Structures are given as structure tokens and as C-alpha cells.
Structure 1
């Protein structure tokens, strides 16, 4: 019974994406390259709208199992799509993001935790959403990385600890696969846009929070560790260079590989997905049982990542000093 449903769902999602392309072309919803871009061709923006669409359609078919999450997803997808069309005030975006995250927390039961955990969770979730959004700069990286995260979560849900509706999770995976068909290529047909990267981050975080709450193990944050390391170390190096971290830039490690080393987009995207997949496999095999084990693992991996950046980029670029 599963295979026919998967085939029908995939056909629906392909059709929805192609329909969106026609709408985007008609209303000129496109991404024009500028001095900060890692691409050179005008491309359709917002192809990631399919992520929220897929889960909404699934819920209409299978039932509203997670109504507050869906409402939060619609809110954050809507404001992100509006921002793709015309840049909005940061205050408006933050307001919608906070409302969406509050609905996410209500759905997962996080508001039952002590206040300090709620505060830390807000920081983690908002920070992760922005990190995933900022990392969406080259063909395939959002779709490839998102696919690895969701596929790992699907495996954990099936074989390690059941924490969510498998059909809901499978639908998210199918949506990412369809998006990758149009984006994970040398000449992308579309970009995810803010609506895609932000909504995908929101979806992954929903499943991740469900898993952490179910198992009471924070170690599963490793499923998003590579993106986190790139984002956090980039901020740290920019602060060291006395740069304004709120200004747009091309300082991420993946941007250096693409723009300075001229490595093809899909190669870098594949590298990020593969490295995160290896970390996910090691996580499942050697899951830390204590916060000390998690801290030690994070410290070792962080030192390795920083060392790699120092070797490949060099101290002149990272610290703005003479080698």
C-alpha cells in the first residue's frame, strides 16, 4: 500500500512545483544575482514553497494531527514568501517568527518545561532557523542537507525510537526530493528562497524537538551540527575582524569553497551532506548518554572544523592578520 501512495504523492508534488514555476514566471518572482551571490543566472525564487504545501496536503488527507505546528508553519512560510517577493521590515519578520515558534512549542509541549529551558529553546530554534536560512546560498545545499537530516530522522523513528507520524515525515522527505530534482544541479531551475529554507528549518526542528523530548537526549542536536559550526565560527571570525555581523557577507566556509576555490556548487553541497551523514551515522552508533559526553563530542568536532578552516582558508583571511 505504501508504494502507490508514494508515487501519487510524488506526482502531486511535481505538478505543484511546476505550477508554481508558471506563477513565479508570470509574477516575476525571481532571484537576480548581485555582488554577494554565488550564482550568475536569473533564477526562479521560492521553489521551497513546496515544503509547507506538502505537509498541509498530507494533513488534509490524513487528519490534522499537529494543528498548532501546521499553523506555525503557515505563518512562518507566509511571511517568508512575502519577504521573497518584497523585502519586509525585520520587526515584522521577527514578530511572525516568534508567533510561529510559540505555536511550535505549544505543539511539542515545551511550555511545560521550566522557564530557563523555554528561553534556551527559543534561542536555539530562532538561531537555527536563521543559520539554515543564511546557509542557503548555493545550488543543492539546502535540499541535500535537509534530505540527510530528514532521512536520518526517518530511520531513527523507524528503528531507534518512534517519536512522530512516519507518514508526516515521509511526506517532508518526498517534498525535498522533488525540490532537489529542480535545484540539485549545475544550472538550477529554482532556488528555495526564504520560504523554502525557513520552512524547511521549521519542519526539521519540529521533528528534532519531538525526538529530543521523547528520548530526553540532547545529543540529537548533532543532526544539525555542520551547519551550526559553519554559522557560529563564521560569526566568531567576523567579530574578530571587527566586522558588522548584521551586514550581508560571503564569509561562510561553503562560500569560500565556491567563490574563492571555484569548486562547483553541487560538489560543495554534496560534501556538506556527506559529512553530516557521516556524523549522523556515528551519532546513532555511539549516541552520548550524558551531557558530558555530548559536550566532549561537540568540543572535538568543533576543533576539527576550526582546524580545517584554518588550513584551507588561512589565518590572513579568517583573522585579518599576516600569516
Structure 2
């Protein structure tokens, strides 16, 4: 009854409840993150819960890695209150990210074997696919493939989830990059889901933007630095992938029919996708195990040019924005033509970057 009175009052003021949810979700998620992180930093320093630098680290001092705790709670609280239209799907979604939160937290505190993290991801994906029923059921003509059989769709959904979650995790190597890319991707989904009137997922995307902006303040700080850790990268990676699968699912419904949706997602996730393919191809070419860590990521290439973390993150975030803009303006192209454009642009970007890095190294040696 109280809810009806509040809604009636808002309508009298000519304020849509949607705008109240948007503002409420953003403010609550942002404030929770800003208030939580300083306390997490203090506890981390006091208890020695820090990441010690090694030969692959981009930092030289011990840094707290539990920023993902604040991100998780900010998102959960804000969406629980303001994403009211998620309905029964929210129970499965919340269960899925809670599993990843605890496994990520264990990894940040104790180090968890990669296979155990993979099992946690599979369990979380299972909750979404079979609990919420959200999965990939068509490629909309990409490579000549339209509707796909149920079980192939299930396997493809698992594959896409695992690839994108871990691709997002792989870019979390320097200050500001993972959070910056997460903000850009989430803004793209805010635009998409409000255009197709899926306000609940739009609220979820707003909450992700809010917590990442709050986190960025400390991630870029010199005196109060914190990393999101596996807790943050797995949770955020899962959420933005969930939004991607939801978009693909919605794109096939009669009211929407967004036939270029699969390739639009490639443009939205361009930096994580390009970076993952780049390092895997390089490792295979030099006959290294594709999962063996190295310094061939895109951000490592830019750091070799003498750029600092912030400059590198700004460049890669800007590239991601440019790709999204290109995908948006060319969205009405036939899907395979749009896919070819993505391949050409991404290949050109990687080749140019490697050429510049190689040329700089050659000049340095001379």
C-alpha cells in the first residue's frame, strides 16, 4: 500500500519512478563503494592482506587486492532495492555472482587453483542458463548460422561466458584499465537496454558504472591504492557477460529483431576480445602454452613505448569507445560485412601497435 502512495506522489510531481530508480541505484552503489574501500584498505594493511610484487607485476609496492568486496556489495545492495523488475531471475543472478564472489575472495586471500575458479564459473553459468533461461539461441546469420539447436546453444553460452569473464580478468593488469573498460561497456548496455525498455538490466548496468567510478578514485590513487583482485574482475566480468547474453537473447524476440547483435557485442567488448586473441595467437606462434602468463598484452605493448598506467588506460579505453561508435553507426550493415569490418579494424590496430613497439625498441637499441 505504501508503494502505491509513493508512486502516486511521484506521478503528481510528474517524476517517473524509472528516474528515481536510476538516480537511487547510482547514488547508493557509488556511496557504498566510496565508504567501503577506505575501511577495506585499512583492514588490508593491518592484517597484511596485500599483493606482493613479482616479475610480472606492474606495481613495486604491496597493494591491497580486496576492492572487489566493495564492488560486490555496492551492486548487490543497489540492485536489490532499485532493480525491482528483475523478479525471479534476480535470485539466480544473485546466487551466481555470490558464488564467484566467495571463490574470488578465497583466491585473493589464499590463492585458488585455476581449475577450481573454472568450476565456480561453470556453476554460476548453470544457474543463469537453466535457472533464468537466458542463453544464446541464434547467431542471426553470422557465418551463415541462424537458429541453433538447444544443446549447442547451451554449450555456446557456456563458452562465451567463460571466454569473456576471463578476457576481462586478463586486462586487469594496470591501474584504471579494467575499471575504465568496464565503465565503457556498461554505458553501452545502459544505452541498449533503455532503448529496448529492459529497465531492470539498465539499472544493473548503472550500478556497475557507479561502483567502478567509486573504485577508480582509489585504484588511481598513489597513497590509498587498491586493486579489484579476482573478486572484482570475476564478478564484474560475469555481470557484463550476463548483460551481453541477455542482449543476444532479447535481440531475437519479435519486438526487437536486432540482426547485427552478435557483432555489435564484439565491438562493445573489443579490447578484452582483441587482447585475449592477441596473446593466445602469440603464445601459439612461439610454441608456448596458450594459458601461460607473459607480457604480450596490449597494455604491455603500450607500456613499452614509455607510457604510464593512466596514459595506457586512457588510450585503450578510447580505442574501445571508438570501436563502439563504429559498431553503432554501422549497425544496419549486413552482419557478415560488419563482422569483416571488425576483423579488419582489430587486426589493423594490433599490427600497428606491434609495429610501433618494434620500431621504438629498434631505435632504443641503436
Could you say whether these structures have the same fold, taking a TM-score greater than 0.5 normalized by the shorter chain as the test?
yes
Shift of residue 131 of structure 1? 1.3
Aligned partner of 2:158 among 122, 130, 142:
122
Is the Cα contact below 8 Å between 1:33 and 1:41 reproduced in 2? yes
Which moves more between the two structures, 118-127 or 181-190? Answer: 181-190
Aligned partner of 2:208 among 139, 164, 172:
172
Q: Is 2:40 the partner of 1:20?
A: yes
Name the count of aligned residue pairs.
315
Q: Is 2:250 the partner of 1:205?
A: no
Gaps of 5+ in 1: 318-323
Which residue does 2:128 correspond to in 1?
104
Is the Cα contact below 8 Å between 2:29 and 2:77 reproduced in 1? no
Which residue does 2:97 correspond to in 1?
73
In 1, Cα distance between equivalents of 2:223 and 2:310: 10
Which residue does 1:54 correspond to in 2?
74
Which residue does 1:297 correspond to in 2?
341
Change (3 A) 1:229 1:9: closer
Is the Cα contact below 8 Å between 1:154 and 1:169 reproduced in 2? yes
Change (3 A) 1:155 1:244: same
**Bigger Rg over Cα:** 2
Is the Cα contact below 8 Å between 2:136 and 2:249 reproduced in 1? no
Which residue does 1:320 correspond to in 2?
none
Shift of residue 47 of structure 1? 0.7
Change (3 A) 1:68 1:8: closer
In 2, Cα distance between equivalents of 1:261 and 1:198: 29
SS of residue paired to 1:314: helix
1:239-286 superposed Cα distances (whole Å, 9 cap, x missing partner)? 11112223221111211222x223100110111111101111222222
In 1, Cα distance between equivalents of 2:91 and 2:262: 25
1:122-154 superposed Cα distances (whole Å, 9 cap, x missing partner)? 112101111111111100001111111111111
Which residue does 1:151 correspond to in 2?
187
Is the Cα contact below 8 Å between 1:145 and 1:276 reproduced in 2? yes
Shift of residue 232 of structure 1? 0.6
Gaps of 5+ in 2: 1-19, 138-148, 253-260, 362-366
| RMSD, matched Cα | 2.4
In 2, Cα distance between equivalents of 1:31 and 1:225: 29
In 2, Cα distance between equivalents of 1:288 and 1:13: 39
1:88-116 superposed Cα distances (whole Å, 9 cap, x missing partner)? 22332221110011122232522876211
Q: When the two structures are superposed, what TM-score results if normalisation uses the length of structure 1? A: 0.89
